[in-house]
């Protein structure tokens, strides 16, 4: 047990597969990470059990909160005080990142499919607009032709009504 800071160039934790058994993937890592809360805090130097000497602003998590989500990361000493093995959080973060990446890739596929549909619909709308314009021109030519021959009748009335209602 060390109280205070440890300064070193590296720390290697044993992780060889030959020392492990019953290996399982971490289930729902993203929801676990999203449930964790990072906080800023100061050590309570008035508490006689606090052995830290650093009075500067700290960053970390609350062990009791972590324990509810990832109990494997929390240790409790003989006095009931809890600590977090922060280096083990990395494994959960890696798996959460991979889960999030899968979601991003799925969303990208959906976006591309939606964009393709949008482009197809734009093309259809443009085609329909061209057809409408051609039909309007045909109706106008027919109406003007009837006007010139003096056979306005119903066409003139229809033309006005259609134009007023926006076709």
What value does the mean pLDDT take over residues 114-128? 97
Q: Using one digit for the tens of pLDDT, what is the confidence trace for 86-108?
A: 999 999 999 999 999 999 999 99
pLDDT, position 1: 64
Q: Pull the structure tokens for residue 76.
A: 């409790």
Show the CA angle centred on residue 134, arms to residues 130 and 138, nearest 5°: 170
Q: How far apart are CA 96 and CA 47, in angstroms?
A: 36
Question: For 127-163, what is each residue's pLDDT tens digit?
Answer: 999 999 999 888 887 767 666 666 555 666 666 776 6
DSSP 166: T
Please tell me the predicted confidence (pLDDT) of residue 28: 96
Report residue 53 CA to chain centroid gap. 40
HSE (side-chain half, CA atoms, 13 Å) at 15: 6
Q: What are phi and psi of 82, to 5 degrees?
A: -110, 150
The mean pLDDT value for 35-42 works out to 96
Average the pLDDT over 31-49 and give the result: 93
Is the pLDDT confidence value at 62 over 70? yes
DSSP string, 101-164: HHHHHHHHHHHHHHHHHHHHHHHHHHHHHHHHHHHHHHHHHHHHHHHHTT--HHHHHHHHHHHH
- The DSSP call for residue 48 is T
C-alpha separations of 18 from 21, 22, 23, 87, 156 in Å: 8, 11, 11, 20, 92
């Amino acid at each position: 047990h060390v109280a205070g800071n440890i300064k070193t160039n590296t720390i290697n934790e044993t992780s060889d597969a030959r020392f492990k058994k019953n290996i399982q993937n971490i289930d729902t890592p993203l929801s676990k990470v999203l449930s964790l809360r990072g906080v800023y805090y100061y050590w309570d130097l008035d508490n006689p059990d606090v052995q830290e000497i650093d009075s500067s602003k700290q960053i970390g998590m609350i062990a009791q909160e972590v324990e509810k989500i990832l109990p494997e990361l929390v240790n409790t000493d003989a006095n009931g005080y809890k600590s977090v093995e922060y280096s083990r959080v990395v494994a959960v973060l890696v798996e959460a990142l991979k889960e999030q990446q899968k979601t991003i890739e799925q969303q990208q596929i959906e976006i591309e499919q939606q964009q393709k549909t949008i482009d197809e619909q734009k093309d259809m709308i443009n085609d329909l607009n061209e057809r409408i314009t051609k039909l309007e021109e045909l109706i106008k030519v027919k109406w003007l032709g009837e006007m010139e021959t003096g056979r306005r009748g119903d066409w003139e009335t229809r033309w006005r009504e259609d134009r007023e209602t926006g076709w």
